């Protein structure tokens, strides 16, 4: 099963609900406009890709992923489990990542983790299943819940970018505990994932790191 894409626009009732609950989020939504997230790979391939990409550059991850696919033919549990540890390391995977990939394959092939049935679980139970796989931490599980399962109310408190974006959005004073999301995320329920997508987009489009406030960015946009 392929992962689910979000298509967010002004007529979306979820977007309107966010705007009404948090006027500053509403201003950001108007500033950014329509947002689409990409439809991703099948669930197994998406998780395998996440493991391969951990703690290395995007360019290096793409290169290693290409060599792994060339070796195995595809990112599937049967294809990857058929490869020797030596060949996987030769393709560029670290010893730890070989262990993680093998654990993922074993759990899926044995039925211990049924990726296609994760949709039937609530967020907490789905996360617990995912983090039972070696090499899958809470952040990776949360990203899968949002972009793989299309869950609408997931906010990754451990995501430094989201914390930074929340501080910028609400023009908050610096906190020693860096807990900015925790101050405002309650306003975004039950659409925390959608708020997160707009915050990531605010980073990607340069708003958050512009050195300007939300109001200044809006004013600049109005002049264009």
Q: What is the pLDDT of residue 187?
A: 98
Q: Under a CB-based contact definition with an 8 Å cutoff, are residues 75 and 69 in contact?
A: yes
Q: State how far the Cα of 60 lies from the Cα of 92, in Å rounded to an integer.
A: 9
pLDDT of residue 2: 52
DSSP E strand boundaries for 79-122? none
Compute the distance between CA of residue 162 and CA of residue 200 in angstroms, rounded to an integer.
Answer: 7
Instruction: Determine the pLDDT at residue 171.
Output: 96
Q: How many helices (H) and strands (E) does the chain have?
A: 13, 2
Q: What is the pLDDT at residue 1?
A: 54
pLDDT along the chain (224 residues), means of 10: 77 97 97 88 91 90 95 96 97 96 96 93 96 94 91 95 97 95 97 97 95 93 73
- The verdict on pTM exceeding 0.95 is no
Confidence at residue 34, expressed as pLDDT on a 0 to 100 scale: 96
In contact, 176 and 35? CB cutoff 8 Å: no
Domains of the chain: 7-38+154-223 (1.10.1670.40), 43-148 (1.10.340.30)
Q: Which two tokens stand for residue 64?
A: 């290693």
The span from the CA of 145 to the CA of 159, in Å, is 14
């Amino acid at each position: 099963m392929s992962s689910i894409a979000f298509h967010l626009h002004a007529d979306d009732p979820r977007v309107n609900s966010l705007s009404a609950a948090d006027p500053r989020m509403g201003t950001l939504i108007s500033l950014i406009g329509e947002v689409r997230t990409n439809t991703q790979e099948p669930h197994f391939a998406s998780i395998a890709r996440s493991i391969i990409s951990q703690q290395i550059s995007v360019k290096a991850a793409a290169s290693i992923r290409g060599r792994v696919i060339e070796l195995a033919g595809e990112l599937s549990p049967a294809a990857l489990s058929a490869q020797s540890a030596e060949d996987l390391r030769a393709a560029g995977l670290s010893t730890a990542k070989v262990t993680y990939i093998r654990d993922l394959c074993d759990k899926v092939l044995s039925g211990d983790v049924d990726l296609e049935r994760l949709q039937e679980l609530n967020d907490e139970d789905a996360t617990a299943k995912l983090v039972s796989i070696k090499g899958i931490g809470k952040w990776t599980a949360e990203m899968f819940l949002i972009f793989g399962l299309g869950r609408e109310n997931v906010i990754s408190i451990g995501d430094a970018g989201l914390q930074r974006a929340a501080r910028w959005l609400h023009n908050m004073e610096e906190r020693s505990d860096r807990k900015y999301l925790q101050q405002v995320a309650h306003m975004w329920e039950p659409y925390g994932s959608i708020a997160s997508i707009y915050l990531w987009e605010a980073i990607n489009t340069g708003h958050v790191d512009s050195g300007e406030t939300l109001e200044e960015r809006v004013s600049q946009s109005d002049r264009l």
